[in-house]
Structure 1
Amino acid sequence: MKFLERPSPPTGLRRFVVRLPIHLYRMRLGRLMGDRFLLLEHIGRKSGKRRQVVLEVIERSEGGYVVCSGFGKKADWYRNLMRRPDAAIQVGRRRLDVTAHPLDPAEGGEIMARYAPRHPKAAVRLVHLMGFTVDGTVDDFRRVGRELPFLRLS
């Protein structure tokens, strides 16, 4: 694993494109996103207003849904959940109230090591977008997972 430079959150046209899936959920078409993505509704830590973001589900279990902040601990949605962990998610047609629980780096590493073999192409693209290069080994993905903040939404 090699760390390049953590990219900044998207702005301008790129931000508009990244946020397009939110509109699918608003039009009640969230089922088109399948169960690999979820809409997270949370409260802004400064504004107190409702905020929304679509995130990829890294892992799903009876304990909830695991998501990762690819832009690190500075991502607004991550910081908002650290301040106010109660939120709501929509996965497909289902809407659930959840509480965000941060995971320790070792657990994040193991989750990423399980994710990579299930979705190899997506995993390589995902870690590249986050500023890492990997050689494709599970150990490389495990090391990346230890560097990123993961949350369990349960």
Structure 2
Amino acid sequence: MEILDRPARPKGLGRALARLPIHLYRMHLGGLMGDRFLLLHHVGRKSGKRRQVVLEVVEHTDDGYVVCSGFGPKADWYRNVLAHPDVVIQVGRRRLDVTAHPLDPAEGGELMARYAPRHPKAAARLVRLMGFSVDGTADDYRRVGRELPFLRLS
């Protein structure tokens, strides 16, 4: 695994496109996103304003949904959720009150190693987008997962 330059947060048109799925949820069309994505309702840590972000679900078990901050621990939504862990998520048409729990790096590594074979093309694109270069092995994805912050929403 090689760490490349971390990408900058999307701006302008890229940001507008990245936020487009939020509008689907607002139009009550979240079901079109399936269960691989969720809408996270959270509170700004400084402003106190309500915020929303659509995230890919890394794993869903009886313990809840696991999401990852692909832009690292400095992503605003991630920092907001750490400050105010009681959040609301929408998965498809379901709305759930949950609490966010940070996962340790070892668990993040195992999650990423399990995610990659289930979604190989998406995993390869995601790690490139997040600034990593991998050879595609489970160990490489495990190392990437140890570098990224994961949250369990349960």
TM-score higher than 0.5 here? yes
In 2, the alpha carbon distance for the partners of 1:10 and 1:63 equals: 32
In 1, the alpha carbon distance for the partners of 2:62 and 2:100 equals: 15
Letter in 2 for 1:71: F
Structure 1 position 151 matched with structure 2 position 151: yes
Match in the other structure for 1:117: 117
Match in the other structure for 1:86: 86
Letter in 2 for 1:125: R
Match in the other structure for 1:28: 28
Root-mean-square deviation (Å): 0.4
1:50-92 Cα deviation digits (max 9, x unpaired): 1000000000000000000000010000000110101000000
Displacement of 1:98 in angstroms is 0.6
Match in the other structure for 1:67: 67
With normalisation by structure 1, the TM-score equals: 0.99
With normalisation by structure 2, the TM-score equals: 0.99
**Structure 1: segments with no counterpart, 5+ residues:** none
- Tell me which moved more, 2-11 or 29-38: 2-11
Question: Secondary structure at 2:45's aligned position in 1?
Answer: coil
In 1, the alpha carbon distance for the partners of 2:139 and 2:73 equals: 23
In 1, the alpha carbon distance for the partners of 2:6 and 2:99 equals: 27
Structure 1 position 141 matched with structure 2 position 145: no
In 2, the alpha carbon distance for the partners of 1:16 and 1:122 equals: 21
In 1, the alpha carbon distance for the partners of 2:5 and 2:61 equals: 32
In 1, the alpha carbon distance for the partners of 2:74 and 2:64 equals: 23
In 1, the alpha carbon distance for the partners of 2:42 and 2:130 equals: 23
Match in the other structure for 1:52: 52
Displacement of 1:94 in angstroms is 0.4
Moved >3 Å (runs of 4+): none
Displacement of 1:115 in angstroms is 0.2
Give aligned pairs, total.
154
Structure 1 position 41 matched with structure 2 position 41: yes
